[in-house]
């Protein structure tokens, strides 16, 4: 959300790759602002080949302190905005008979352990469902897939309390990945998923799928955890101990 950082990145990309880059600042919680951003991009380039729904927020509060406004704010950015963008840009991709949409969810959308981020977890789970539904709706011309990272050292997580991070590592997280590590992990995970041979047991036959045809896939990366049932029990225990201490 920093205009200065966006402009700096724009200059770096244009210099290194000799391409034209457009930066647009807008409020993703407002439908009209999203529509305006899409119109500007379409006027500039004529079409959109790839959409990455990456923007997200998290509001950490105790479960009992969570408000409806917190829910609305989180869902507007994390789920409703990706839906609006997918609807608007997906329609244009279908017209052009080609395109790809990548949704950035979270492992919190697959296995949820944090009541302090209940609305975030729900939004990321919803984004995975949006991926599946959009993949069906926009096929065969548009591929819609999803990446679900674990803990990553980004602006969103840089203010995490040190004690919290230490406890998380005890519960089962081996490390918090950097953005560079995650990029490498993404490439590795994608290649493993796309190149593997999958058995379709109903017909007892093996098949391989052309990567250019794959849609509706969720790739989980960057979250090395122990058995989920153990982690959940440990988290519940830590909450119980906290209540006893209070």
Measured distance CA(220)–CA(106) in Å, rounded: 8
Q: How far is CA 215 from CA 130, 132, 143, in A?
A: 12, 8, 5
Q: Is the peptide bond before 140 cis (omega within 30 degrees of 0)?
A: yes
The contacts of residue 61 (CB under 8 Å, 6+ apart) are: 70, 116
Query: For residues 223 and 106, what is the distance between their CA atoms, to the nearest angstrom?
Result: 10
Closest CA to 122 of 103, 108, 102: 108
- How far does CA 195 lie from the centroid of its chain? 23
First to last CA, the chain: 38
CB 89 within 8 A of CB 48: yes
As a whole number of angstroms, the distance between CA 76 and CA 84 comes to 10
State how far the Cα of 134 lies from the Cα of 223, in Å rounded to an integer: 26
Catalytic residue check, 120: yes
Q: Which of 114, 120, 132, 235 is catalytic?
A: 120
Q: Indicate which residues carry an active-site annotation.
A: 120
């Amino acid at each position: 959300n920093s205009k200065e950082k966006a402009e700096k990145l724009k200059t770096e990309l244009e210099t290194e790759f000799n391409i034209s880059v457009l930066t647009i600042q807008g409020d993703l919680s407002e439908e009209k602002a999203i529509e305006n951003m899409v119109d500007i991009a379409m006027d500039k380039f004529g079409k959109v080949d790839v959409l990455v729904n990456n923007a997200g927020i998290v509001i950490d509060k105790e479960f009992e302190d969570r408000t409806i406004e917190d829910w609305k704010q989180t869902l507007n950015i994390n789920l409703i905005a990706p839906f609006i963008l997918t609807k608007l840009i997906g329609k244009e991709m279908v017209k052009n008979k080609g395109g790809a949409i990548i949704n950035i969810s979270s492992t919190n959308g697959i296995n949820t352990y944090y009541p302090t981020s209940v609305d975030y977890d729900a939004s990321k789970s919803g984004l995975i469902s949006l991926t599946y539904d959009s993949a069906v709706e926009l096929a065969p011309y548009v591929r819609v897939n999803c990446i679900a990272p674990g803990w990553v050292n980004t602006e969103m997580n840089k203010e995490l309390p040190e004690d919290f991070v230490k406890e998380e590592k005890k519960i089962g997280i081996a490390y918090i990945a950097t953005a560079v590590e995650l990029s490498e992990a993404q490439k590795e995970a994608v290649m493993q998923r796309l190149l593997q041979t999958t058995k379709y047991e109903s017909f007892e036959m093996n098949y391989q799928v052309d990567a250019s045809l794959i849609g509706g896939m969720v790739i989980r990366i960057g979250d090395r955890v122990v058995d989920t049932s153990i982690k959940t029990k440990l988290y519940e225990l830590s909450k119980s101990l906290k209540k006893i201490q209070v």
